[in-house]
Amino acid sequence: MRIVSLVPSQTELLHDLGLEDQIVGITKFCVHPYHYKSVKTMVGGTKQIKIEKIKALNPDIILCNKEENTKEIVEACQDICEVHVSELYTIEDTLKLISYYGERFNKRTNAEAINEKIKYKLQDFKKFIADKPKIKVAYFIWRKPWMVAAKNTFIDYMLTLNRFENIYGNLERYPEVDITKIQQEGDPEIVMLSSEPYPFKDEHAFEIGRVAHNPKTIFVDGELFSWYGSRLLKAFDYFKLLRERI
């Protein structure tokens, strides 16, 4: 089975399932594990692919995601071989995907082990977070234009799990927002600047601080809020530390 993965978080999951030798193509954003960039064929990004490179790899299956990849990419890949498109909004969705990969790629035992670890860490975290107060937050993913994570996203699901009340939770997906209206639209106690996909810096925190009502601005690990798959094994310890920081 020759696999091309066009989804960074799913590439990491495939590796952790023990499928390194079967992965033949990845995107330039597939940064985990680190050594893949020197031993695997890069076939473009998540939004723009080099279709001829993918064809040359002679894959048996191409793995996509509804949010990460465009409809045009999926359709182009379907002309090459079987394509599986994941769609995930919750941890339960993630557990199902891991089980599916376990079945599809004959790694059932590995998949079950990862799922059991995720479930254990999730239950432990729920006990930890249960008595923590709710905190109003805004989670920024982009600048020029300013964009946030809103409802019907994996990020919003993770914010809710952390008892963070998303002030933009009434909006859909990843809307553009006017930061000069941030007080009227929810007045967050915490502003989160994600490490991906935009490289936020201190100057951007100051920019929001000038128009907001004195929120605490923190830089957060975007992978641990938005990557599903085996990265969840690292997420809950990070969330505990994050609560202690704020």
Q: Which two tokens stand for residue 231?
A: 């990265």
Kindly tell me if the per-residue pLDDT of 234 is higher than 90: yes
- Between CA 81 and CA 2 the distance in angstroms is 11
Tell me, what's the pLDDT at 213? 82
Q: What is the pLDDT of residues 81-133, one digit of tens each?
A: 999 999 999 999 999 999 999 999 999 999 999 999 999 999 999 999 999 99
Q: Which two tokens stand for residue 93?
A: 């969705």
Q: What is the pLDDT of residues 135-194, one digit of tens each?
A: 999 999 999 999 999 999 999 999 999 999 999 999 999 999 999 999 999 999 999 999
Q: Which two tokens stand for residue 145?
A: 């234009």
Mean pLDDT of the chain: 96
Tell me the torsion sign for CA atoms 109, 18, 50, 8.
positive
Domains of the chain, start order: 3-87 (3.40.50.1980), 129-245 (3.40.50.1980)
Kindly tell me if the per-residue pLDDT of 23 is higher than 90: yes
Kindly tell me if the per-residue pLDDT of 73 is higher than 90: yes
What's the pTM value of the predicted model, to 2 decimals?
0.94
In 3D space, the residue among 133, 91, 125 whose CA is nearest the CA of residue 238 turns out to be 125
CB atoms within 10 A of CB 23: 22
Query: Minimum mean pLDDT among 8-22, 45-59, 98-112, 201-215: which range?
Result: 201-215
Long-range contacts of 70-79 (CB under 8 A, 24+ apart): 73/6, 73/47, 73/49, 76/49, 76/51, 77/4, 77/6, 77/49, 77/51
Give me the mean pLDDT over the 7-31 stretch.
97
| Residue pair 91/34 in contact by the 8 Å Cβ criterion | no
| Residue pair 88/97 in contact by the 8 Å Cβ criterion | yes
Tell me, what's the pLDDT at 214? 82
